[in-house]
Amino acid sequence: MTDDPHPEDLLGAYAVDACAATEVATVAEHAADCPRCAAEGTRLAEAAQWLGVLTARRPPATLRTRVLEAARAARPAREPEVGQLLDPYARQVAAFDRLLAGLEPDQWRLATAKYDNVGELVTHLTASDALVADDLGVQARSASEPQIRRRWRAQADALLREVASGGPRLLERQVRLAGKAPVRRPLREALVQRTFETWIHADDLRTSLRLPTEPPRPDQLAGIASFALALLPGAIDAAGRGRPGQVRLVLTGPGGTEHLVALSAVPVPATTGGGADPPEGAVAEVVVPLVRFCRLLAGRLSVLESGAEIRGDAGAATDFLEVAATLGCD
Amino acid sequence: MTEVLGGVDDNDVRLRDALTGGCEEALAEVYDTHSATVYGLALRLTGDRGAAEDIAQEVFVELWMRPERYDPRRTRLRSWLCMITRRRAIDWLRRRRTQEHYAPVLAEPAAAAGVEDDVLTASLAAQVRLAVDELPSQHRQAILLAYYQGLTYQQVARALNIPEGTAKSRLRSGLRRLADALAAAGFDDLAVSKRTD
């Protein structure tokens, strides 16, 4: 509350833009600190704007084309291929933001997954997103934004805008991925990772709030698994556990697929001339639900908790799963 | 100012996010849902078809260019579009009025026209019309002059030959009554559970 008298007499005029500029400033300044006047001003303005429907009138049919063309000229629409990668990310950003927007002040202090409080979690996600945003030269509009949530959201929105207007060629641009080891990959993969990390942190928060978790759609989960599996052979080498042979990974449940994954990125010399076919039998088979495998990738489920069934070479399968569990962004 | 009453409209959030992501289908959807309101309001304010089309174009292109300026937590998309439309139309009117002497006329807004097949808009218009008709005529006059003619409260006072303080208080009481009537009619953005005053 401020010490100023409540400018109640002006609230009606303010709601319909019928005040002088100095009066507008007086009301806005007061309302910034006075929830009661702010609430009344909002309600009166909302009521006033309903008057706008009274005079609804169908515009000439030509106006629709004119508006859409002018819009396209002012800011290019994204191409469908870009939309396929961007929509899942945009959905996770929106879902996480909705969770954050609903937090009470004391809920911001909740310990969440690997973070002491929600603020640290969001700051961490902002830093991960910044790897891609910086590599694309994206400037978040409100770099000076004081609020943790707004700063994250402004950067995510700026990233979405940039990719949306960039076209399919931008998707091939090499950018940094988040994670333990520095890796540069095409933007199209980085967007899958952004979707992945944003979802995992939204679920972290849901868990702290005792809400049910909400996995992305099965086809998006399958995309996350494929993204990680492409990195896995190199990661197994980096962990010093590379070996010849492959693991057959059977991902079950909606969106489930089978993958043959090499246990090393080092090419295995062909034993017989010209025989480029992969070996018939994998050294081990791992069967696990797709959604659990994604949570394992994020380091949110241990190998044991994932309930993975292992057949064949148990050592190879365990190495495979243990390294997979390090591919998250934390 | 403060979060919109009655909670955030998920559809407005979805559209705003899709616009941020450069989804042209979202703009087409916003246009199809709200163009009659935007165009009709601009036409009512300006009385000029060409100006109304230009204003409608500017309003939708502005939303497309800067969707992040619209905050679904503060207001409904329809209200926001009406606000921007009004501001543009009032700018247009004020530019005009410097050239011609302008005498405000007390005119009731024409009924929504040509939107019968737009069931949602037509039914909203009918409900708002009912709420407006129930206002005491003094309140109704003040509100309609300010809203549809873009008058300041001082100009409303002169047009109705009443003191400025009375014009301010009629605007406030009239809008409060309108908000209460719309809330009672089920407009959840105006629902109010407890008033602190």
- Same domain membership, residue B161 and residue B88: no
Tell me the average pLDDT across B76-80: 93
A39 domain-assigned: yes
User: Rounded to an integer, what distance in angstroms lies between the CA atom of residue A34 and that of residue B108?
Assistant: 35
- Same domain membership, residue A222 and residue A317: yes
A69 domain-assigned: no
> Residue A151's domain is classified under what CATH number?
1.20.120.450
- Same domain membership, residue B1 and residue B96: yes
Dihedral pair phi/psi, residue A112, rounded to 5°? -135, 115
Contact A54 B132 (CB under 8 A): yes
Q: Does B20 touch chain A (CB under 8 A)?
A: yes
Task: Give residue B4's pLDDT band: very low, low, confident or very high (50, 70, 90).
Answer: low
pLDDT digits over B8-58, tens only? 788 999 999 999 989 999 999 999 999 999 999 999 999 999 999 999 999
- Same domain membership, residue B37 and residue B74: yes
Taken in order A29, A30, A34, A36, is the CA torsion positive or negative? negative
Are β-strands A258-262 and A284-289 bridged in parallel, bridged antiparallel, or unpaired?
A: unpaired
pLDDT attached to residue B5: 57
- Same domain membership, residue A223 and residue A202: no
Where a domain ends, among B87, B102, B117?
A: B102
pLDDT attached to residue A269: 60
pLDDT attached to residue A275: 42
Tell me the average pLDDT across A302-312: 94
pLDDT attached to residue A3: 56
Among the partner residues A15, A54, A75, nearest to B109 by beta-carbon distance: A54
Contact B39 A58 (CB under 8 A): yes
A176 domain-assigned: yes
A318 domain-assigned: yes
pLDDT attached to residue B197: 38
pLDDT digits over A178-204, tens only? 988 788 999 999 999 999 999 999 999
Among the partner residues A49, A94, A165, nearest to B17 by beta-carbon distance: A94
Report the number of distinct structural domains present in chain B.
2
pLDDT digits over A57-99, tens only? 999 999 999 999 999 999 988 888 899 999 999 999 999 998 9
Q: Does A76 touch chain B (CB under 8 A)?
A: yes
- Same domain membership, residue B45 and residue B70: yes
Q: Does B85 touch chain A (CB under 8 A)?
A: yes
Among the partner residues B53, B118, B153, nearest to A13 by beta-carbon distance: B153
Greater confidence, A270 or A110? Answer: A110
Greater confidence, A104 or A142? Answer: A104
- Same domain membership, residue A253 and residue A157: no
Say whether pLDDT at A246 is over 90.
Answer: yes
Task: Give residue B146's pLDDT band: very low, low, confident or very high (50, 70, 90).
Answer: very high
- Same domain membership, residue B98 and residue B112: no
- Same domain membership, residue B161 and residue B81: no
Say whether pLDDT at A115 is over 70.
Answer: yes
Q: Does A51 touch chain B (CB under 8 A)?
A: yes
- Same domain membership, residue A222 and residue A197: no
pLDDT digits over A154-183, tens only? 999 999 999 998 888 999 999 999 988 788
- Same domain membership, residue A235 and residue A319: yes
- Same domain membership, residue A244 and residue A185: no
Say whether pLDDT at A143 is over 50.
Answer: no
pLDDT attached to residue B98: 66
- Same domain membership, residue A82 and residue A201: yes
Contact B190 A43 (CB under 8 A): yes
Residues of B in contact with A68 (CB under 8 A): 24, 27-28, 31
Say whether pLDDT at A146 is over 70.
Answer: no
Which chain B residue lies closest to A49 (C-alpha atoms)? B79
Contact A12 B169 (CB under 8 A): yes
- Same domain membership, residue B126 and residue B32: no
User: Rounded to an integer, what distance in angstroms lies between the CA atom of residue B132 and that of residue B130?
Assistant: 5
* B117: CB partners within 8 A, 6+ apart: none
Contact A54 B176 (CB under 8 A): no
Average pLDDT of every residue of chain B: 86
- Same domain membership, residue B134 and residue B98: no
Q: Does A47 touch chain B (CB under 8 A)?
A: yes
- Same domain membership, residue B115 and residue B94: no
Which chain A residue lies closest to B180 (C-alpha atoms)? A47
Strand order in A246-252's β-sheet? Answer: A258-262, A246-252, A284-289, A309-312
Task: Give residue A280's pLDDT band: very low, low, confident or very high (50, 70, 90).
Answer: low
* B11: CB partners within 8 A, 6+ apart: none
Task: Give residue B122's pLDDT band: very low, low, confident or very high (50, 70, 90).
Answer: confident
Residues of A in contact with B14 (CB under 8 A): 94
Three-class DSSP category at B14:
helix
Contact B35 A77 (CB under 8 A): no
The burial class, CB within 10 Å (0-12 / 13-18 / 19+), for A326 is middle
Lowest mean pLDDT among A109-123, A133-147, A298-312: A133-147
- Same domain membership, residue B110 and residue B96: no
pLDDT digits over A212-233, tens only? 999 999 999 999 999 999 999 9
Portion of chain B with pLDDT greater than 90, in percent? 61
Task: Give residue A258's pLDDT band: very low, low, confident or very high (50, 70, 90).
Answer: very high
pLDDT attached to residue B93: 87
With a CB-CB cutoff of 8 Å, which residues 218-277 of chain A face chain B?
none
> Residue A290's domain is classified under what CATH number?
3.30.1050.10
Residues of B in contact with A12 (CB under 8 A): 168-176
A320 domain-assigned: yes
pLDDT attached to residue B195: 40
- Same domain membership, residue A171 and residue A115: yes
* B155: CB partners within 8 A, 6+ apart: B104, B145
pLDDT attached to residue A182: 82
- Same domain membership, residue A174 and residue A290: no
Q: Does A311 touch chain B (CB under 8 A)?
A: no
- Same domain membership, residue B173 and residue B127: yes
Which chain A residue lies closest to B52 (C-alpha atoms)? A59
> Residue B70's domain is classified under what CATH number?
1.10.1740.10
Tell me the average pLDDT across A13-20: 92
A13 domain-assigned: yes
Dihedral pair phi/psi, residue A310, rounded to 5°? -120, 130
Q: Which domain holds residue A32?
A: 8-55
Tell which residue, B77, B69, B55, B39, has the closest CA to residue A70: B55
- Same domain membership, residue B180 and residue B151: yes
- Same domain membership, residue A311 and residue A255: yes
Q: Does B92 touch chain A (CB under 8 A)?
A: no
Q: Are A27 and A41 in contact (CB under 8 A)?
A: yes
Contact B171 A93 (CB under 8 A): no
Average pLDDT of every residue of chain A: 90
> Residue B129's domain is classified under what CATH number?
1.10.10.10
Report the number of distinct structural domains present in chain A.
3
Which chain A residue lies closest to B59 (C-alpha atoms)? A67
Contact A50 B178 (CB under 8 A): yes
With a CB-CB cutoff of 8 Å, which residues 184-223 of chain A face chain B?
none
- Same domain membership, residue A193 and residue A160: yes
Which chain B residue lies closest to A85 (C-alpha atoms)? B21
Lowest mean pLDDT among A251-255, A272-276, B22-26, B133-137: A272-276
- Same domain membership, residue A186 and residue A95: yes
Residues of B in contact with A85 (CB under 8 A): none
Contact B168 A10 (CB under 8 A): yes
A197 domain-assigned: yes
Task: Give residue A6's pLDDT band: very low, low, confident or very high (50, 70, 90).
Answer: confident
Length of chain A (residues)? 330
A148-166 and A118-135 are packed helices; what angle lies between their axes, rounded to 10 degrees? 30
Q: Which domain holds residue B84?
A: 1-102
Distance from CA of B114 to the nearest CA of A (A): 6
